[in-house]
Amino acid sequence: MKKSKLSKNSHAARVKDRGVQHAPVLLDIHGLELTKVDRARLSHVLTGGVILFARNFANKAQLSDLCASIRALRPDALICIDQEGGRVQRCKTDGFTVLPAMAQLGKAWHQSQAPSETLGGLATLRASAMAWAAGYVMASELRACGVDLSFAPVLDLNHGESGVIGDRAFDRDPRVVSMLAQSVMHGMRDAGMANCGKHFPGHGFVRADSHVDMPVDTRAHGQIATDDMLPYGLLSGPLMSIMPAHVIYPEVDSRACGFSVEWLQNILREQLGFSGAIVSDDLSMQGAREIDGRPCSFSQAAVHALNAGCDLLLLCNQSVLPPGVKTNDTLDRFLDELTLSLLREEWLANEESELRRRALLGVGEAKDWWNLVREPRYIQAMELLAQIPPA
């Protein structure tokens, strides 16, 4: 055991000696506060941040303390969470606003205007204002507790087939999705938070869930480009990060999007002109467990993702201890294997990727909770949220 630990430390030290400036790994932590093991993993040269889950949240004070302890250990750590609204919301008690599913904003967009309204398009303007409010409230509450980034908004289209997407999507129409997502992103930026559009180029058409299956979308590239992918082209400027789908589109590439040079570099970077961060979806999902028809380890998937063009790597829920198990070294082995693959030049550290990671950190001074809830802009946003039609 001591020899293995020394070996791992030596690998990381060799990377540090090379002056590597690329920390692509976003990992999870076990509970409500940092353990000794969490601290060691967060201190690793390849760790760039954490993703938090419901098990990491008890109340505002605890979340603030947890984020402060992460920041004290790693001042540049990117602290992330999934706080989309609807059924994907990790913090929703102790004052956190229960956010609507994004489909409710789509519903507001399509509401008929009252006969007394003489100016057309008022419903769409109201829906856009509500979307701004959703983004602002979500981001400002998280930032008040120290969280940098929520992986939102969802840019998938609701084709009525995907259970895992469903009401997480704003609408079926890519134009409506683009307009409402832009308003959500505007609200997030007003609170000092970056954004992450997902799941490129679109997860809403396939029925299979990439958490437990390998979805395949057999449509032609042209059909995807003019439908599901349209929001990414329209929003390529304001989007600061994008998460590719663990979906195979065989008319374009035999690999899932997150491991495809064709999708990430030729289409997303070159054709759409996207210059922000590309964040892999969770590498523990079933959609990432197989590449080119062959099973792969977490570290092998990570190397493929980095070489395809991902800047950041998500590996979730690996610090959790299964029943009856006292230790879980999955994350330690992953970090060690990824470090070794870097030393062997199986992937190359990318300074531009590191700059993109740092660009996702919270901007400006976040208000503490007491000052936030008294802020006129926050009060106005809450009033707008109250006007969103029910599901």
Assigned domain for 22 exists = no
pTM here is 0.93
For 154-169, the pLDDT digits (tens) are 999 999 988 889 999 9
386, part of any domain? yes
Residue 103 lies in a domain: no
281 noted as active-site residue: yes
- Helix-helix angle 102-109:122-144, to 10 degrees: 160
Whole-angstrom distance, CA of residue 130 vs CA of residue 305: 36
The number of folded domains in the chain is 1
Res. 244: pLDDT tops 50:
yes
Q: What is the mean pLDDT of residues 251-259?
A: 96
pLDDT on residue 9: 61
- CA 387/CA 352 separation, integer angstroms: 42
Residue 310 lies in a domain: yes
SS3 (DSSP) at 256 = strand
Residues whose CB is less than 8 angstroms from the CB of residue 40 and which lie 6 or more positions away in sequence, other chains included: none
Structure tokens at 218: 């057999």
Domain annotation covers residue 340? yes
Residue 52 counted as domain residue: no
Task: List, for residues 105-141, the tens digit of each pLDDT value.
Answer: 999 998 865 555 555 578 899 999 999 999 999 999 9
- Catalytic member of 94, 110, 211, 329: 211
* Residue 141 located in a structural domain: yes
Contacts (Cβ under 8 Å, ≥6 apart) of 232: 155, 197, 200, 201, 239, 242, 268, 272, 274
The span from the first CA to the last CA of the chain, in angstroms, equals 54
Range of the domain at 296: 27-39+133-391
8 A C-beta contact, residue 214 and residue 287: yes
Q: At 12, is the pLDDT very low, low, confident or very high (cuts 50, 70, 90)?
A: low
Range with lowest mean pLDDT among 19-28, 97-106, 259-268, 275-284: 19-28
pLDDT in tens, 64-93: 999 999 999 999 999 999 999 999 999 999
Is residue 167 part of the annotated active site? The answer reads no
Q: What is the CATH number of the domain that holds 184?
A: 3.20.20.300
Task: Give pLDDT, residue 4.
Answer: 41
Q: Among 156, 217, 281, 311, which one carries the catalytic annotation? A: 281
287 CB neighbour count, 10 Å cutoff: 26
Please give the angle made by the CA atoms of 100, 364 and 238, to the nearest 5 degrees. 60
**CA–CA distance, 362 with 371 (Å, rounded to integer):** 18
Residue 212 in tokens: 């437990």
- Say if 63 falls within a structural domain: no
